[in-house]
Amino acid sequence: MPDLTYQPIAVLSKKLASGEVSSKDITLHLLDRIERLNPAINAFIRMEKESAVRDAEEADKKIASGKSGPLLGVPIAVKDLIAIENGVTTCGSRMLENFVSPYSAKVVEKLRKAGAVILGKTNMDEFAMGSSNETSRFGPCLNPWNTETVPGGSSGGSAAAVAAGLCPAALGSDTGGSIRQPASFCGIVGLKPTYGRVSRFGLVAFASSLDQIGPMGLTVEDTAIILQAIAGHDPMDSTSVDIPVPDYSESLNEGARGMVVGLPKEYYVKGMDEEVRAIVLNAADALEKAGAKIEEVSLPYTEYAVPVYYVIAPAEASSNLSRYDGVKYGYRSDHSATLEEMYANTRTEGFGAEVKRRIMLGTYVLSAGYYDDYYLKAQKVRTLIINDFKDAFKKCDVLLTPAAPTPAFKLGEKTDNPLKMYLNDIFTINVNLAGVPAISVPAGFSSAGMPVGVQMIADNFNEPALFRAAAAFEKTRDPEISQKHPSL
């Protein structure tokens, strides 16, 4: 049998169509690999073994009857805040530990319709709040490149699973960098689509004006294939936008010639990690050699993105998470004398420390007397950040920046200092505040052998420009970058 580990979706689907392998072969191979290797990194928190094998057999029947499709028979993992009908969706929290979803998320329906095989659910920071996957109820996920370091977060499980060759691709969600930063830390590709491009129906809400589901995979092409399958308007999500989904495959081979690539000067500041800076500037050189024009641009409100995000995201979270009261969903404390006590005990016992911190922060900034000073002001600065991007995209097709200020950090390094943890999001959260799409692409390794990604950002609904620049960059890259894998 051919080697089925670290095979991109585009390669697997050719092998499937030609009959060289069956979907069941691939699925059983990965399930076995997960069983052997997952204990070392804790990337998957639940397997959907039986339904995965059933899905694979179903896909094999379809292939035998002459059907084809880029995802038909391809195994994929799903972050555990995306609902699967009759499956448990924990969101990495004790609060939802036993919560069985009565319906599937739109993205899951779409993946299933495309014939994908859902392998299982991946680890994450509790309620997607974190940058290191250390706040999970089910224990931290570890970075397969060095298990003393974090995989990033909050989609750490999805990133680690792909990087460890446990699945060719996974879905993540990105509210403030949660797809792109773990992709950078784990040496894979991660795409946050434009806000409204992908339905959020069935995604457990963290900060509804920022949340977006997106693909994580081995290649830029694979993320385009998945976006193609999951994008589009959904009447069940009123913020999903009803504009046509272009054929993303077209942009993959257009090359960077003629593109204008902006380097925002606020992202290349004194004190940033020198190795990261060198890798990102190398990527700029590579794009220039491939025919792109490099220009310095300015996004003057960048420095306010962290404080603005950490007002708006907790504000929305405090409102969204008020539904977990022991009555409607999930965990209920069983030793309370009154209803009020039951609410309090449920939330005290059901949520971890970071989630409580966010709820308190959010409730504070929304409270009478502080609303104008914090929440309203943050919303006004958010508009200035949106305008920064609008101005930049008058001159550039894409912006090139680091995805994270450093390579993966050590487990426990930032857990005592939430501010330090929040500052790790400095290059990713402005993108969510503006709603624009961005991708993280592996670009090199630190001297300690840890992967480093670069981020490309495009204007609203201009994912084609992202795919074009990212795929062009991928072609210029030292082949070692895509061929090197962690040894577990």
C-alpha 132/C-alpha 152 separation (Å) is: 4
Q: Per the structure block, which two tokens stand in for 67?
A: 């059907």
Q: What ranges make up the beta strands (E) of 108-242?
A: 117-122, 169-173, 189-192, 213-217
Torsion, Cα 20 24 25 29, to 10 degrees, reads 150
- Is 174 a residue that touches ligand GLN (CB under 6 A)? yes
For ligand GLN, what does the binding mask look like between residues 309 and 348, x meaning CB under 6 A? Answer: ----x-----------------------------------
Query: In this chain, which residue has its C-beta nearest to ligand GLN?
Result: 178
Torsion, Cα 462 214 263 396, to 10 degrees, reads 0
Q: Are 3 and 25 in contact (CB under 8 A)?
A: no
In whole angstroms, the minimum distance from the beta carbon of 368 to ligand GLN comes to 25
CB atoms within 10 A of CB 28: 17
From 42-50, 171-179, 244-252, 400-408, give the range in contact with ligand GLN by CB under 6 A: 171-179
C-alpha 432/C-alpha 174 separation (Å) is: 8
> Residue 128 carries which side chain, given as an amino acid letter?
A
DSSP string for 101-119: PSS--HHHHHHHHTT-EEE
Residue matched to tokens 């896909």: 59
In whole angstroms, the minimum distance from the beta carbon of 197 to ligand GLN comes to 16
In whole angstroms, the minimum distance from the beta carbon of 130 to ligand GLN comes to 5
Given 176, 437, 442, 444, the residue binding ligand GLN (CB under 6 A):
176
Given 122, 147, 175, 212, the residue binding ligand GLN (CB under 6 A):
175
In whole angstroms, the minimum distance from the beta carbon of 331 to ligand GLN comes to 21
Identify the CA nearest to 142 among candidates 482, 450, 356. Answer: 450
From 175-183, 295-303, 319-327, 332-340, give the range in contact with ligand GLN by CB under 6 A: 175-183
In whole angstroms, the minimum distance from the beta carbon of 308 to ligand GLN comes to 12
**148-167: contacts with ligand GLN (CB under 6 A):** 154
> Which residues belong to the active site?
79, 154, 178
- Is 93 a residue that touches ligand GLN (CB under 6 A)? no
Between residues 69 and 407, which has the closer beta carbon with respect to ligand GLN? 407
Given 27, 38, 122, 131, the residue binding ligand GLN (CB under 6 A):
131
Taking the CA atoms of 430, 249, 75 and 411 in sequence, report the sign of the dihedral they define: negative
In whole angstroms, the minimum distance from the beta carbon of 140 to ligand GLN comes to 15
Angle, nearest 10°, between helix axes 220-230 and 106-113?
110
C-alpha 17/C-alpha 278 separation (Å) is: 42
Identify the CA nearest to 436 among candidates 232, 191, 193. Answer: 193
CB atoms within 10 A of CB 252: 21
In whole angstroms, the minimum distance from the beta carbon of 361 to ligand GLN comes to 11
C-alpha 358/C-alpha 222 separation (Å) is: 34
- Is 129 a residue that touches ligand GLN (CB under 6 A)? yes
In whole angstroms, the minimum distance from the beta carbon of 226 to ligand GLN comes to 18
Q: Is 365 helix (H, G, I), strand (E, B) or coil?
A: helix
- Is 42 a residue that touches ligand GLN (CB under 6 A)? no
Given 115, 120, 151, 177, the residue binding ligand GLN (CB under 6 A):
177
Given 221, 222, 397, 425, the residue binding ligand GLN (CB under 6 A):
425
Q: Are 452 and 477 in contact (CB under 8 A)?
A: no
From 98-106, 126-134, 283-291, 403-411, give the range in contact with ligand GLN by CB under 6 A: 126-134
- Is 178 a residue that touches ligand GLN (CB under 6 A)? yes
For ligand GLN, how many residues bind (rule: CB under 6 A)? 13
Between residues 316 and 474, which has the closer beta carbon with respect to ligand GLN? 316
- Is 130 a residue that touches ligand GLN (CB under 6 A)? yes
- Is 194 a residue that touches ligand GLN (CB under 6 A)? no
For ligand GLN, what does the binding mask look like between residues 46 and 75, x meaning CB under 6 A? Answer: ------------------------------
Q: Per the structure block, which two tokens stand in for 297?
A: 């641009």
Identify the CA nearest to 392 among candidates 471, 302, 306, 279. Answer: 302
Angle, nearest 10°, between helix axes 49-64 and 23-41?
150
Between residues 31 and 305, which has the closer beta carbon with respect to ligand GLN? 305
Residues forming the site for ligand GLN (CB under 6 A): 128-131, 154, 174-178, 206, 313, 425
